Structure 1
């Protein structure tokens, strides 16, 4: 961090006199100073490798309990809380499937995120390949795109895997799908999964860190082991073939979303922290 950034942060806080200052990313924690009468915290969306950025923090906040455990294991002795995210409040309007060259009567699976190995989209392509006639919409982009396109061709899936690139509003695309999958190998929370729950689409997710905490297998959707494309394919087939079961997953996920990830509960939790109450 430059001296200019430190000077600006210090000047702003001394001028505005906020009740709290929150660093949203770990490195931003280095801009916190020893301001009196101001709650200083850092919010983490992933597991920290060390605590070197947080020396001026009064507490840390992670978006799932495992992050709090990691901080304590690294030697953090001040308060550390779990406050998660809430899904954005958007009314989905399903796109026309023809816009993605997809038959109206096809079984459509959607997934979204950066095309990097940790997201497991290669596993998902292999899973959907086991479902004759199914189409896969991959929303996003990244350095693995060429490898994913090559895999789709290798599996004879080139006509059934649709790479949309980044879209302005994924909610509307996911709303037109029959199922959503988050096949991640590592996923601290899984915002895309929560958004699919908000849209009301039945879901399959791997047992990565986030879903392993909050998703109930067989109630909110189907949870599989990481890298198990056979299990993902089997879960999708169940959603495709059993509409009653699929509807029950949507209902379960909606209840879980309201229980763990409501906007009011998360905002209230942050306001409590900003007031100086770190009791959780």
Structure 2
């Protein structure tokens, strides 16, 4: 009986070893992902490699591990990753497979750190799976935060850019020409709105219609201001209205909306201060009346 059990255990061990070896061999034979060289992703990747020393070191590992995720069947995960990277301005020129690879490497790194800390510092072992989950989620949260900050930056810069475009069109330029003048004269070409306008110009140069280019802009920057701008320009073109006054009205409307939002935030701040101010006044009352209460409890105030 014991010999049969030992034989089964040995067979199971050999099967596991062969399975792991087969998976490792398949992964080793999988070619590394190609580095993007063209388009927006290529520009972002070259800029990241030139400015970030850490990313330059880990980028080959990301492309190597990313090749393992090429056959991930989940369309939902891929669409979510693609949407997050698009809204983040093609952060670091990453593909969805490379984002999966960063999440996997981050999970393994934090899990290994938690395992080492658990064995050396006697930390609870429940931290190991929690660290793995946190490591897997952290890259996604980072990309989503970059996308939200990028959208806020675009909303802040949009009214002034619209006013400049209206001035250029009143001086005789057409809509693409005014955008090209704004992009070429921008002090910082890496500003999110300038990058997005540059992509709109590239799509127009490639033969896309103005409607499709603006719709793509609204997808990349999904804010109410950008959607309203795209809708207003498309409607003006459909009706044959001049774009200069439309852009000026959009700039005024968005500045008014921003001032109204600031007033709402200021009014909400007054309500949010009620709780802290109440706690502060309670502390002041305790400090003032505390000694009196203590003296009353210990024998009175000493007044004859």
Q: Fold-level match, TM-score > 0.5? A: no
Structure (1/2) with the larger strand percentage:
1
Structure (1/2) with the larger helix percentage:
2
Higher-Rg structure is 2
With structure 2 as the length reference, what TM-score do the two structures score?
A: 0.25
